Structure 1
Amino acid sequence: MTIKPLAAIIAALALVGCAQKDTQPEQSFTLTVAHINDTHSNFDPVLSSFNAKGITVFNEFGGFPRLQTMADKYKSAAHEQNRSFLFLHGGDAWQGTAYFKLNQGAMNADLLSKMGLDAMALGNHEFDLNNAKLNKFISGINFPVLAANIDTSKDKDLKDQTNIKPFIVYAFDGNKKTVVEDIDNLPAGKDIVAVFGIALDDMPDIAPNTGQVQFFDMVESAQKTVDLLESKGIHNIVAVTHIGNAVDLDVASKVNGIDLIVGGHSHTLLGDFTNIGHTDNGIYAQMVKNPNNNTGTCVVQAGQYAQAIGQVNVTFDAKGQVEACEGLNTMLTNDEYYHSPKREVASKFNQDETNKVVKFIDGEDNITITEENDAMRKTIDTKYKPAVVEAYGRVIAQVPQDINHARRPGDKGTDVHGSDVAPIIAEGQYFWANSDEVKEVTGLDVDFALVGAGGVRTNIEAGKYREGNVSLEMLPFSNYMSVVPVKGAVIKKLLEQTVSATLPEGAHAGKFPYGGNLRYQFTETVPHKAGKLDFVEVMTGTKESPVWTPLEDNKVYNVAMSNYNATGNDGWTPLFEAQKESTDRIDLVYVDGELTGFKVKNIEKVNGKYKVNYEGEAPTCKAENIRCNTDAQAVIDYISNELPVVAPQDFDVVTFNRAT
């Protein structure tokens, strides 16, 4: 099948004189779609917990071997019942664990290809390395990566990549499916389904290494793609996206003709999970009315970190409109349970207790005990795990109880203060930035630190805590620390804008800010739409004698943060605006083992991307003598020197009051 970029799609539409005669059967048709998203290299299970009728159960969820088992089960059931079936991935397979740090895209290509996926959306973290490595990954998988709103023709690494496609078309005869190579000649008597992809149109502002790939408006591109497909007689249309649940709903309300959106990016585990002590995350298979007020789009998403899998049945009428859409997400658990998050032998459930939990699970629809696929587990344990175990390094602290991270307060059952992990990260970076080693380089006393919630990738799990838990898992992006002198008014604007952007239901909350040595309160005034910053205060006392002082608009504060956020990425735009003309910012990396400061001149926007200009040479993180992950090193040093026992902070840095 020859697939062209967006420019060619637009040209093709201009040449369409009349719609091709439909060749699809004149009856309703049901398609089953299994889906995952934001797996982020979580090949092993995630240690977690749930509630079984008042009993707290410490377990593990998911991992690729369990996803494989459940996907195979869904496929087998569809085959036995002769149902049409697709298995889709909503993007962000990359990044997130030590496996990715060591193997980069290779392990994902290996294991995802074993899963039997039909297609995957292009996520922002697929651009975390460089386009040469992304190209190698895409060449190494046995399913297409879909994005109808990009053009790779000007990128030196991706211009000849044929496995990035705007869409793929399938012809179904019951469970049997074939790829349609020529959409101008659809096979007669088959049920035809098109799957197209949508990537973030602001990708250059979010992803660090998009090269010369061009990104186009999501709504405009989606409608043009649907119009092209329908002009060819294809009316059963699925979008696999990596734009976030709130944006999925918005796109569905602005585009006619998408029947099903399988999403990713916001890590939204749609459905009500209060029955297991988790949260109600919104409607799974929510129907959204299209702008024509006639058709509708069904929207699904399946959470994060390979903990769950979704399955939806969508029924199309003869015109390709949705008659019914229903399904659910299912959390995949093991069958070995503990009373303590440390999971000591003494806290393991006895057989009677285990039987009660198993009976409870058997009575619930959205959690199931799932055995690991033996072959995939063997591949992980023999081919990849030994190097990861070796890479974790020394123990730096003990953790008595799990410390949980949620990007936005209220998510994952958290209270109005949100994450207990992000404040520890921010406090660690504040502490490090004020150490003698750093102050010798910067000459600056740092007033506070800020972190974006999306940069914090894991919980802090009970037990021994190692260097690698920070550098390989918690802060895996190898960002370097920046110290940015900036006025208080800029910080207030930053807090107000970033929090406001996370108010809509299903919004991507990676930009949500947490502080170290700083606290603030934000109150929502219009549910999911607007709010106001009540106060921002800086700690000017000590932990023993805390004094909180209001942030002053015209006072310049020295703020520690990652270079990614300091440059204004992920919606931290006020920092870019403050540094457009000039800045006294200093970026910090290790050169030949010695901490070195690089003075920033200003930031400019070039071809849609923020470009940092330095007074002299820029840090070259690919050089063998340069180590750039000072964001992680800051936290390692802080925990190692100051927190032999890691626990949540005594004070709250965020208070986020939602409207009722």
Structure 2
Amino acid sequence: MNKPLIAGLLTLALAGCASSQPDQPFSLTVAHINDTHSHFDPSDVQLTLNNKTVYTRVGGHPRLLSYANQLHQQAAQTEQPFLLLHAGDAWQGSGYFKLNEGAMNVDLLNQLPLDAMVLGNHEFDLNNQRLSDFIDGVTFPIVAANLDVSQDSDLQAVENLTPYVLYAFKGDKKKRVNSVEDAGKYPVVAIMGLVLEDMANIAPNIGQAQFKQELVSAQQTVDTLTEQGVKHIIALTHLGLDKDQQLAEQVNGIDVIVGGHSHSLLGDFSQLGWEKNAPYAQQFTNPDGLGISCVVQAGKFAQAMGELTVNFTLDGQVTDCKGTNTLLVDKVFYNDVRRADKHRLTDTEQERITGFLAKQPNVALVDEDPGLRTYIDETYRPELLQTYGAVIGHVPSSLQHVRVPVANQGSQVAPLVAASQLYWANTPEVRGVSGREVDFALVAAGAVRNNIEAGELKAGHVGLDILPFVNAVSLVSLTGREVAGLLLETINGAIGDDTHAGQFPYVSGLRYTFNETRRGHGYLANIEYLHQGEWQRIIPDARYQVVLTGYHASGNDGWHTLFEAQQAETDRIDLAYVQDELTAFLVSRLSKNEQGAIEVHYQKQALDCQLPGVSCNADAQAFIDYVQARRPILTALPESGVTVNRLH
């Protein structure tokens, strides 16, 4: 869908008017999305309405398009200035992205009437040539004021990447302009982009791109725009809610901050059985004590769209900003997560629910755009369905992945992954190959990449979305002392300042209590493992059989204790599939090469995951087997085995 074209009268007027900006109040509506993560299809969700649990779908790009068109029509009817913005992380997050590597994002995002987008960290997941293709392919500007690509061969010549973009308005009609002078008497809104300054520590492939300080670049860009005569400035950011609030309190002159990265669905959704989050459109006073910045963000996965109306004084100061995030809900409801026809609610129940939801200020019952729905179904969905494969289970409600526990509320997914590896390693098939019985499992938080959303769980979801790294599974014996040392190393490494939370260890068949005495430091108060149905204390000099991924078994990702334990010799076994047959590869020791990379030395046949017929996705297969055999209705485990007490 093409953006609305500005009327010819406005085009002529902008070319011939004086450069002074109007001294009159101005009102602007900003619709926004963020962290859509290639969720082109709707998400399956659970809602609790008046103590009744129902299942439906929300969001997806066809529904975003329908709602964006509604908002455009409303703006046109009232001649209200209107913008639609994307706050980054369109990439990654679904099988569509794995199959199309950004090309589908170009295609689908161009269907939305977007006016600008900022780059998120996941836009750097592939390489800068792919990113260059994406930036040049979309029909709306990409903004990033603190990104320097002058030294990057793939991005330096990209024309559609700019620090900011200017739009001039005549009512609901808008035109992109190069300067305030080009706008003449019509009000101008600037949209500047801000990306993460520590992108190099987060994104895997940044090439030679350089990322400047967020606050410094923001103030410099605002000052430049103000000097040009711009009175209305929006910061389109992918920094996270906390940083957005800091931006509002430490930088002068930003009127609206439209953010992403932290997946914050601002507002109160408790009437749906969801969370009551921080308020939408909070206002923060700038450091000069005069200006006000309004901060918004719209959740994740194309489930909601934010809509903010900002009013300005004659001299461009914000007088008020009001609005809400709107959850975009389907009109069909079920009493079971499997959503078969037999689970569909009666017409009377449907009418009661739709009547209730229609009265909610932050919910909209929205049909998908039929043209875009058909286009996805015919062009992209057949390959996705073929790749995802069979349904292996059903998830009644979303399972959240939190890397480090907060108030002992940790990941619901990582303990299931650990449990799957412990179950799988002790199945007769695997024990027939390994010859071992495993005592417990360890999983690093960073090995798990996504929440598990409510609805059908297919085999492809596991390998493409949840555990996408293609890992062999390893069995290795460790002493109790080494297990304790590994836990201390990885917990302390994950909870301190400037640390890597992906190190944090989740477990199955093991439980521990860690007491943090000061930031990033603490001690293990208890370590026990489950032996013949009873919990027993770990003995320092005893040896235990542990299952974990091959990547972490080698000591990568901060699990250094494992590398130290296997330098001289090891009894480790790596398990992978060769011509669909589970095969054991015996490891003799570990070493490091001149670049510091860890190398695995095998006793006989080496495991090479790049060889034809070799499949190193044993961690994903273990999870699939576990769900099918033990947890076809997949819910969180009653206990995670992890207790973290903050004593300071």
> Could you say which TM-score interval applies, normalised by the shorter chain?
0.7 to 0.9
Number of the residue aligned with 2:89: 92
The answer as to whether partners of 1:23 and 1:186 remain within 8 angstroms in 2 is no
Say yes or no: does 1:150 pair with 2:147. Answer: yes
AA aligned opposite 1:227: D
Q: 1:54 to 1:461 in 2, by over 3 A?
A: closer
Question: 2 CA distance for matches of 1:600 and 1:154?
Answer: 38
Q: 1:181 aligns with which of 153, 178, 195?
A: 178
Question: 2 CA distance for matches of 1:619 and 1:175?
Answer: 62
Number of the residue aligned with 1:376: 372
Number of the residue aligned with 2:107: 110
AA aligned opposite 1:405: L
Number of the residue aligned with 2:230: 234
Say yes or no: does 1:420 pair with 2:416. Answer: no
Q: 2:283 aligns with which of 281, 284, 287?
A: 287
Shift of 1:268: 0.8
AA aligned opposite 2:302: A
Question: 2 CA distance for matches of 1:128 and 1:595?
Answer: 32
Question: 2 CA distance for matches of 1:220 and 1:438?
Answer: 58
Q: Which moved more, 1:192-201 or 1:453-462?
A: 453-462
Q: Which moved more, 1:26-35 or 1:64-73?
A: 26-35
Question: 1 CA distance for matches of 2:542 and 2:127?
Answer: 40
Q: 2:386 aligns with which of 373, 383, 390?
A: 390
Q: 1:109 to 1:415 in 2, by over 3 A?
A: same
List per-residue Cα deviations over 1:379-431 (Å, max 9, x = no partner).
11111111111112345x444x51532234999xx995454333112322455
AA aligned opposite 1:652: S
Shift of 1:173: 1.8
Shift of 1:220: 1.6
Number of the residue aligned with 2:460: 468
AA aligned opposite 2:450: R
AA aligned opposite 2:256: L
Q: 2:396 aligns with which of 376, 391, 402?
A: 402
Q: Which moved more, 1:37-46 or 1:137-146?
A: 137-146
Question: 2 CA distance for matches of 1:568 and 1:147?
Answer: 33
Question: 1 CA distance for matches of 2:256 and 2:563?
Answer: 42
AA aligned opposite 2:83: L
AA aligned opposite 2:81: S
List per-residue Cα deviations over 1:165-200 (Å, max 9, x = no partner).
2211111222121112246x4422121111111111
Counterpart mapping for 1:435-514 below 5 A? 448-452=441-445, 455-459=448-452, 461=454, 465-476=457-468, 478=470, 488-489=484-485, 491-492=487-488, 494-496=490-492, 498-499=494-495, 514=506
Question: 2 CA distance for matches of 1:454 and 1:228?
Answer: 43
Say yes or no: does 1:277 pair with 2:273. Answer: yes
AA aligned opposite 2:465: E
The answer as to whether partners of 1:91 and 1:120 remain within 8 angstroms in 2 is yes
Q: 2:255 aligns with which of 256, 259, 269?
A: 259
The answer as to whether partners of 1:307 and 1:331 remain within 8 angstroms in 2 is yes
Q: 1:434 to 1:54 in 2, by over 3 A?
A: closer
Q: Which moved more, 1:132-141 or 1:637-646?
A: 637-646
Question: 2 CA distance for matches of 1:548 and 1:421?
Answer: 25
Q: 2:220 aligns with which of 224, 227, 230?
A: 224
List per-residue Cα deviations over 1:143-168 (Å, max 9, x = no partner).
12222222222222222222222211
Number of the residue aligned with 1:213: 209
Q: 1:516 to 1:257 in 2, by over 3 A?
A: farther
Question: 2 CA distance for matches of 1:332 and 1:602?
Answer: 52
Helix, strand or coil: the match of 1:541?
strand
Shift of 1:53: 1.9
Q: Which moved more, 1:303-312 or 1:625-634?
A: 625-634
Question: 2 CA distance for matches of 1:566 and 1:25?
Answer: 65
Helix, strand or coil: the match of 1:300?
strand
The answer as to whether partners of 2:393 and 2:627 remain within 8 angstroms in 1 is no
Question: 1 CA distance for matches of 2:593 and 2:25?
Answer: 55
AA aligned opposite 1:293: G
The answer as to whether partners of 1:332 and 1:370 remain within 8 angstroms in 2 is yes
Counterpart mapping for 1:114-193 below 5 A? 114-182=111-179, 185-193=181-189
The answer as to whether partners of 2:32 and 2:298 remain within 8 angstroms in 1 is yes
The answer as to whether partners of 1:121 and 1:240 remain within 8 angstroms in 2 is yes
Q: Which moved more, 1:95-104 or 1:379-388?
A: 95-104
Shift of 1:359: 1.2
Say yes or no: does 1:63 pair with 2:60. Answer: yes
Question: 2 CA distance for matches of 1:60 and 1:437?
Answer: 39
Q: Which moved more, 1:533-542 or 1:152-161?
A: 533-542
AA aligned opposite 1:423: P
Question: 2 CA distance for matches of 1:278 and 1:502?
Answer: 31
Helix, strand or coil: the match of 1:31?
strand
Question: 2 CA distance for matches of 1:513 and 1:165?
Answer: 41
Question: 1 CA distance for matches of 2:114 and 2:327?
Answer: 19
The answer as to whether partners of 2:19 and 2:183 remain within 8 angstroms in 1 is no
Q: 1:460 to 1:373 in 2, by over 3 A?
A: closer
Number of the residue aligned with 2:51: 54
Helix, strand or coil: the match of 2:380?
helix
Helix, strand or coil: the match of 2:331?
coil
Shift of 1:80: 1.4
CA RMSD in angstroms, aligned pairs only: 4.3
Question: 1 CA distance for matches of 2:107 and 2:118?
Answer: 17
Q: 1:74 aligns with which of 71, 74, 79?
A: 71
Q: 1:317 aligns with which of 307, 313, 327?
A: 313
Helix, strand or coil: the match of 2:530?
coil
Q: Which moved more, 1:481-490 or 1:120-129?
A: 481-490
The answer as to whether partners of 1:25 and 1:189 remain within 8 angstroms in 2 is yes
Structure 1: where are the runs of 5+ without partners?
A: 1-20
* Count of residues paired in the alignment: 616
Structure 2: where are the runs of 5+ without partners?
A: 1-17
The answer as to whether partners of 2:488 and 2:523 remain within 8 angstroms in 1 is no
Say yes or no: does 1:652 pair with 2:640. Answer: yes
Q: Which moved more, 1:233-242 or 1:376-385?
A: 233-242
Structure whose alpha-carbon radius of gyration is higher: 2
The answer as to whether partners of 1:237 and 1:259 remain within 8 angstroms in 2 is yes
AA aligned opposite 2:115: D
Counterpart mapping for 1:531-570 below 5 A? 538-542=527-531, 545-547=533-535, 549=537, 560=548, 563=551
Question: 2 CA distance for matches of 1:44 and 1:591?
Answer: 33
Scaled by the length of structure 2, the TM-score of the pair is: 0.82
Q: Which moved more, 1:215-224 or 1:38-47?
A: 215-224
The answer as to whether partners of 2:490 and 2:503 remain within 8 angstroms in 1 is no
Counterpart mapping for 1:289-304 below 5 A? 289-304=285-300
Question: 2 CA distance for matches of 1:242 and 1:656?
Answer: 30
Helix, strand or coil: the match of 1:547?
strand
Question: 2 CA distance for matches of 1:509 and 1:263?
Answer: 23
The answer as to whether partners of 1:488 and 1:553 remain within 8 angstroms in 2 is no
Q: 1:26 aligns with which of 14, 20, 23?
A: 23
The answer as to whether partners of 1:580 and 1:602 remain within 8 angstroms in 2 is no
Question: 2 CA distance for matches of 1:37 and 1:629?
Answer: 31
Q: 1:460 to 1:257 in 2, by over 3 A?
A: closer
Question: 1 CA distance for matches of 2:209 and 2:514?
Answer: 37
Q: 1:299 to 1:520 in 2, by over 3 A?
A: farther
Shift of 1:245: 0.8
Helix, strand or coil: the match of 2:221?
helix
Helix, strand or coil: the match of 1:210?
coil
Scaled by the length of structure 1, the TM-score of the pair is: 0.80
Shift of 1:233: 1.8
Say yes or no: does 1:358 pair with 2:354. Answer: yes
Question: 2 CA distance for matches of 1:156 and 1:536?
Answer: 53
